[in-house]
Structure 1
Amino acid sequence: MDSTHDAIREEAAAWFAKRRDGACSEEAAFETWRGLSDAHARTYAETECAWEQWQPLQNSARMREMTAAAMAATAPKPRQAIGRRWRPLLAAASLAAIALVGGIWVLPLMRHTPPVAYSTGLGEQRTEQLPDGTRIVLNTQTTLQVRYSRRQREVMLQHGEAMFEVVHDADHPFIVTTTEGSVTDLGTQFQVRNEDGMATVTLLQGRVEVAAQDQRKRLVPGEQARYGASVSGIRVRRVDPATTTSWMHGRLDFSGLPLAQAVAEANRYSAVKLRLGDPRLADLPVGGSFRTGDNASIAAALSAVFPVRVARSDAHEIVLMPR
């Protein structure tokens, strides 16, 4: 990615917009430009290909948002010869070309696009597909922002948890940042959780590199890294991927988890909160598979199997006591 290539891509988008408009009277000049080099001809052909593959997506709400952002990014500069009436086509051509078409990034004209925000409410889950084909699954009460630039794809996970299935592109690293550190994709499926000053990264497939507190560690599938204010360095351990991703199937899978942690996890998904009425219950190990968002059923199941009982229940809270 150098300035010469960038200039050719910009010029190709401008020529495409003019010719697509049908009012281009500079066909001879266009052919002269296209004949300057193989790179010019190839880049213009890639632009046409990107446009055709992008067309089925252009009327989606997300694409309309991004096209508006692209129009702002391609606003004419004093020395540019692009006409005002061609700007919507130029924006659309630019947007089509930042999609990953045939494994190639074409025309990344939106060099500093405004971040796009995604969020979920209590108990809500949401799946988003990014322009490059990367899929993000947001878990309950999650807030993040996505920003694409000429050099990288960045997600700022402000709070919550998300699963990432990343389309790898060595020229445009995919980086997930939290206030505690960052995760760089190396061809990967992974999830990141950011809560209470701690970040947890679980690798399911591929490779990631975790950076925090002046350390860097590469994970292998089945490893989980934790880092943040309350621990020193990056701590790595083996985990069961099926357990850590059970929330994607609407379940909470516990295996020997202290009851206090199980209660905190269940409360992430429900307005009716579980509460321990006796601190002696905090370390009681519990296990099982429970449905997210149904704390009444979780309390009933716990009281049927473990030495706890429901001492009090109302519309807002369920109190557990020793049996």
Structure 2
Amino acid sequence: MQRPPSKAPTADEPQSSDHGQLHQDPHWASAMQWLLWMHEAPQDEKLRAACHAWQQASPAHAGAWRRAERAWHLSGQLPATSRERWPSTRRRRFAVIGTAIAACLALIMVLLPWHGQGELANGKGAPRQIVLEDGSRVWLMGDSVLRPHFSEHQRQLELLQGEAFFEVVPDASRPFLVRAGSNRVEVTGTAFSVSLQDTRFEVAVEHGSVRVEDPRHQTLLKGGERMHLDIRDNLLRRDRIAPERAATWRHQQLIAEDQSIGELLEQLRPHYPGWILLYDSGLAEQQVTGVYNLEDFEGALAALVQPHGGRVEHWSPYVLVIRR
């Protein structure tokens, strides 16, 4: 097994949101990966020291580690003090790890706070289509949460995390508003997507027009236009796209244009109801271009990494490992 990089993540990484949800914590996956490394080599002192350094690098890291340990412990798989506690063969050891991960995934829903009635959520996996009470349609990407607030005078929805595509029924008497953090998108009748991922906010319009407002900008977007806002640095970019390129995940497609494998894996994670672990930092930096069919998720993942010598190992129904 390839060891983790010698340089621990820094405290400058994005912090988790105030909602306190594990699936919104950008450090949760890292903490679970450290746990896997530790359980694969429980007597490796260098690995233990590197893990400790990662925990000490930031209070957010330490908090994610405690939550990951708790979920692992509740699954009955913690602690493991020596290799002898694992089954003797490599395949069976991976199966034990996969079982623990599966239990952790089930426990996440127990550990999450409840937001109240009326919330629309889609767990990791395939997109979900919802028809709202006014006839408008919403597609929710995996690992996304939307909270509707409809009244006699307006239609308002709050995107708490993830990405959603809206096909809005026109109604001039009731504006259609989407809030995402401190950002607001207003339309009457149009089709567009809104994405809120950590410190990144993006809007893309398929047809019609929308007005996007944030604390410092006001932007009018028409069909075939897209804007991307880095909330942390307040950097706004605007470009043109083919209208059909807005939220291609609705059609179970991933389109890559000279993008790194590491960046694309972050886009793919919400579409897989388990863990995707990458054990090669060099592979993460490789650039790819192509169209990938997410209906065959593992096939798409293999097609993404194989041109650069990568392979996908199926450790369990819940764990995919990429290495060279």
TM-score (norm. length: structure 2)? 0.58
Return the offset for 1:319.
2.0
Larger Rg belongs to: 1
How far apart, in 2, do the equivalents of 1:218 and 1:115 lie? 33
Contact 1:143 1:159 survives alignment (8 Å): yes
Return the offset for 1:227.
2.1
Aligned with residue 135 of structure 1, among 118, 133, 137: 137
Match status 1:285 vs 2:287: yes
Contact 1:138 1:163 survives alignment (8 Å): yes
Corresponding residue of 2:208? 206
When the two chains are superposed, the root-mean-square deviation of aligned CA atoms in Å is 2.3
Structure 1 residues 243 and 283 mapped into 2: Cα distance closer, same or farther (>3 Å)? farther
Larger CA deviation: 290-299 vs 213-222:
290-299
Q: How many residues align?
A: 207
Contact 2:141 2:270 survives alignment (8 Å): no
Superposed CA deviations along residues 247-306 of structure 1, whole A, max 9, x for unmatched, are 1112222222211111111222113544333323333221222232644313432344x2
Corresponding residue of 2:308? 307
How far apart, in 1, do the equivalents of 2:310 and 2:235 lie? 40
The one-letter code of the counterpart of 1:191 is S
Corresponding residue of 1:190? 192
Match status 1:320 vs 2:288: no
Q: Structure 2 unaligned segments of length 5 or more: list them.
A: 1-115
Give aligned-pair identity as a percent.
26
Structure 1 residues 303 and 120 mapped into 2: Cα distance closer, same or farther (>3 Å)? closer
After the TM superposition, list the runs of 4 or more consecutive aligned residues in structure 1 that deviate by more than 6 angstroms: none
Aligned with residue 175 of structure 2, among 173, 196, 213: 173
Secondary structure of residue in 2 paired with 1:170: coil
How far apart, in 1, do the equivalents of 2:181 and 2:117 lie? 17
How far apart, in 2, do the equivalents of 1:137 and 1:252 lie? 16
Secondary structure of residue in 2 paired with 1:194: strand
Corresponding residue of 1:146? 148
Corresponding residue of 1:262? 264
Corresponding residue of 1:15? none
Contact 1:180 1:199 survives alignment (8 Å): no
Corresponding residue of 1:218? 220
Secondary structure of residue in 2 paired with 1:168: coil
How far apart, in 1, do the equivalents of 2:304 and 2:129 lie? 31
The one-letter code of the counterpart of 1:131 is E
Superposed CA deviations along residues 188-215 of structure 1, whole A, max 9, x for unmatched, are 1101111113221101100000001231
TM-score (norm. length: structure 1)? 0.58
Structure 1 residues 265 and 284 mapped into 2: Cα distance closer, same or farther (>3 Å)? same
Structure 1 residues 307 and 125 mapped into 2: Cα distance closer, same or farther (>3 Å)? closer
Corresponding residue of 2:122? 120
Corresponding residue of 2:245? 243
Q: Structure 1 unaligned segments of length 5 or more: list them.
A: 1-113
Return the offset for 1:313.
4.5
The one-letter code of the counterpart of 1:264 is E
Secondary structure of residue in 1 paired with 2:119: strand
Corresponding residue of 1:97? none
Structure 1 residues 240 and 288 mapped into 2: Cα distance closer, same or farther (>3 Å)? same
Return the offset for 1:173.
0.8
Superposed CA deviations along residues 86-114 of structure 1, whole A, max 9, x for unmatched, are xxxxxxxxxxxxxxxxxxxxxxxxxxxx9
